[in-house]
């Protein structure tokens, strides 16, 4: 199966109102070419699951700046003044999740779990109206799984089947998100032939990748 599509075709997979996972950390490991195509396509009312919103002029921050996002699941927004301003004006709904909790909620979504139990956030605003469950005398918050319609990820290296490698911190959230969406699109920096990646080095197996952008 040929998984290669153009940048514009990748952007066309994202429709108004969809939930979209976007990998990376401060734009490192974020599929920048696909993001730029989404900005150009003006897709709107997106719910975005990401670690952060990068900067106004880079990565996810461009979608925020262009007001294409209606809701965020995110661990922090401090590097993007546009996100803060839109939140304060009530234009952008944000659900803050501690970074580890956010990662585990995505993992739970990818593994078909009903949620995770964590003590992180107990007695704080994070707890909100969430369910508290007692296990062996200790209390935990029930954090529900997160899944998406589409995951947009970026790999440092990949083969033509979609087996992926991430270098350094670029793997932040990408491997998890590749398991937790109905459609996974991988933007690959360096393309290699099938068989050139040692099986034990594969971080995301090709079975999780629906489309490839190079």
Domain-wise residue ranges, the chain: 7-213
Token pair of 73 as six digits: 């699941």
Segment 54-77 shows an average pLDDT of 96
Q: How far apart are CA 203 and CA 175, in angstroms?
A: 7
Give the per-residue pLDDT at 27. Answer: 92
Looking at domain 7-213, its CATH class is alpha beta
pLDDT tens track for 96-147: 999 999 999 999 999 999 999 999 999 998 888 899 999 999 999 999 999 9
Q: How far apart are CA 208 and CA 175, in angstroms?
A: 10
Return phi, psi of residue 71, to 5°: -145, 145
pLDDT tens track for 77-102: 999 999 999 999 999 999 999 999 99
**Among candidate residues 16, 28, 33, 77, the one with its CA nearest the CA of residue 185:** 33
pTM for the model stands at: 0.95
Q: What percent of the chain has pLDDT over 70?
A: 100
Please report which confidence band the pLDDT of residue 190 belongs to, taking 50, 70 and 90 as the band edges: very high
pLDDT of 206 higher than 80: yes
**Three-state helix/strand/coil letters over the chain:** CCCECCHHHHHHCCCCCCEEEECCECCECCCHHHHHHHHHHCCCCEEEECCECCECCECHHHHHHCCCEEEEEECECCCCHHHHHHHHCCCCEEEECCHHHHHHHHHHHHCCCCCEEECCCCCCCCCCCCCEEEECCEEEEEECCCCEEEEEEEEEEEECCCCEECCHHHHCCHHHHCCCEEEEEEEEEEEECCCCCCHHHCCECHHHCCEEEC
């Amino acid at each position: 199966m040929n998984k290669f599509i153009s940048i514009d075709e990748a952007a066309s997979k994202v429709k108004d109102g969809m939930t979209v996972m976007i990998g990376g950390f401060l734009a490192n490991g974020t599929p920048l070419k696909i993001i730029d195509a989404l900005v150009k396509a003006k897709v709107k009312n997106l719910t975005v699951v990401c670690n952060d919103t990068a900067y106004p002029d880079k990565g996810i921050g461009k979608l925020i700046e262009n007001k294409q996002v209606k809701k965020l699941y995110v661990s922090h927004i401090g590097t993007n003044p546009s996100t803060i301003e839109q939140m304060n004006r009530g234009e952008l709904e944000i659900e803050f999740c501690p970074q580890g909790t956010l990662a585990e909620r995505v993992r739970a979504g990818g593994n078909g779990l009903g949620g995770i139990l964590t003590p992180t956030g107990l007695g704080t605003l994070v707890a909100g109206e969430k369910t508290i469950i007692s296990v062996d005398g200790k209390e935990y918050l029930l954090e529900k799984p997160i899944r998406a319609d589409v995951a947009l990820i970026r790999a440092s290296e990949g083969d033509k089947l979609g087996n992926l490698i991430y270098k350094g911190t670029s793997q932040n959230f990408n491997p998890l998100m590749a398991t937790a969406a109905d459609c996974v699109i991988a933007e690959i920096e360096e393309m290699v032939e099938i068989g050139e990646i040692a099986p034990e080095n594969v971080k995301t197996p090709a079975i999780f990748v629906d489309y490839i952008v190079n």
